Amino acid sequence: MREELRHFHSKLPSTLKNTIVTAFFLTSAYAVSSILLDHTGQENNSALVFTLAVACISLLSTGYVPGIIASVLSALAINIFFMYPFGRFNVTLTGYPVAFLSFLCIACIVSALTSRNKLQKTEAIHRELRTKALYEQNRKLTQEKNRIELEAAQEAIRTNILRSVSHDLRTPLTAISGAASVLMEDEAVQHAQNAYLIQDIKENADWLTAMVENLLSVTRIRQEDMRLHKVPEVLEEVAGDALMKTRKRFPNCSITLNLPEELIILPMEPILITQVIVNLLENAIRHSGDLEHIELSLYQEENHAVVTVSDRGRGIPPQTLEDINQGKELPLSGDSDASRGMGIGLSACRSIISAHSGSFSAENRPDGGALFRFELPMETEGSYHDG
């Protein structure tokens, strides 16, 4: 019942609430003063009763106005109903003007002090609530800052470990690949089984070397202080280098190079862009199932250079395609040998292109197969710079 009354009271307009409070306490003061007058036969307590009523009105109402109005009405009520001659207003008798004005001033002062004390209390509560809110917000910000700093520290540790391990792996892997190449040319080991094993060793060493290169590129790109050393390069020459490296590793694959009529020159770090093209070509060779119709195309669209690698193979599964275009990590399939290197290779491509302020995407071709595409911004000759 108390909660219902409190809810009903909170819904009333402030003017109506002030009127009800003022009317209630003034009526109560009048009734109490009348009872005292009937019992004592003379006026001696009405001023105290109405002063108490004014204090209660000021405390329970909103603002200064209800208390001031109650003070004026109380002074008039005392003069008319509880001072001789009873029943009419009179300030002509000795002392009446002073008593009337004194009570009015005292009532107004009591009202003002009570209202100000209530406002100060309300402001103190609001300040306390604001302080608590600011403290809670500061606590959350501090926790978030500590979390970000911890994640940054962990990422730095992971990056340093990856970089150290990658550097340590690259040298022996290169030696293994080189030794396997020498053995493949040795007539003493041309036995079919031996040749197959050596070829397998070389292919796996080359694959591991490529993965290490991708890891190094990703960790380097993700360094906050990393700056690309971009220089004007002919895109056709960079693509030619990538195609030559790919054909050397996969001599049995047919790759078509489509070149534009005019040379495309743009700022880039050529080693990294070469790595991107090699990754995309190797991805098509390993995962498309098509070794005869792989195409590497270069052309220009407005102020961007565009590079595409396409095939006519099995295409990209819808979920994998969505993950690639959203920049998510690719899940490993059950056939790890068929999908190995795809995630880290495409992640390296995306990171490198993003560092060049370009865009990277993939799609399935309408006539079958997959197409990977990246764009690089072309700048005017005077805008070449590092980073």
Give mean pLDDT, residues 111-136. 85
Higher per-residue pLDDT: 79 or 265:
265
Poorest-pLDDT segment among 154-163, 348-357, 362-371? 154-163
Task: Check residue 384 and give its pLDDT.
Answer: 41
Check pLDDT > 80 for residue 230. yes
pLDDT tens, position by position, 58-68: 888 877 788 88
Check pLDDT > 60 for residue 8. no
Task: Check residue 100 and give its pLDDT.
Answer: 72
Check pLDDT > 60 for residue 79. yes
With H, G, I as helix, E, B as strand and everything else as coil, classify residue 232.
strand
With H, G, I as helix, E, B as strand and everything else as coil, classify residue 362.
strand
Task: Check residue 306 and give its pLDDT.
Answer: 95
pLDDT tens, position by position, 301-339: 988 999 999 999 988 888 888 888 887 766 544 444 444
pTM here?
Answer: 0.50
pLDDT tens, position by position, 273-303: 988 998 899 889 888 888 888 999 999 998 8
Distances (CA, A) of 381 to 108, 265, 283, 378: 82, 9, 34, 9
Provide the pLDDT confidence category of residue 170 given band limits of 50, 70 and 90.
low
Check pLDDT > 60 for residue 238. yes
85, 63, 77: which is closest to 28 by C-alpha? Answer: 77
Provide the pLDDT confidence category of residue 385 given band limits of 50, 70 and 90.
very low
Give mean pLDDT, residues 378-383. 56
349, 350, 353: which is closest to 376 by C-alpha? Answer: 353
pLDDT, mean over the chain: 78
Cα–Cα dist 290/256, whole Å: 13
Provide the pLDDT confidence category of residue 358 given band limits of 50, 70 and 90.
very high
Provide the pLDDT confidence category of residue 95 given band limits of 50, 70 and 90.
low
Dihedrals phi, psi of 88, to nearest 5 degrees:
-150, 155
Check pLDDT > 50 for residue 381. no
Provide the pLDDT confidence category of residue 32 given band limits of 50, 70 and 90.
confident
Residues facing 240 on adjacent strands: none
Residue spans of beta strands (DSSP E) within the chain: 231-234, 255-258, 265-268, 294-301, 304-310, 359-364, 370-377
Higher per-residue pLDDT: 100 or 362:
362
Provide the pLDDT confidence category of residue 83 given band limits of 50, 70 and 90.
confident
Check pLDDT > 90 for residue 373. yes
Dihedrals phi, psi of 90, to nearest 5 degrees:
-150, 125
Task: Check residue 299 and give its pLDDT.
Answer: 94
227-383 has which CATH code?
3.30.565.10
Residue extents of the structural domains in the chain:
1-226, 227-383
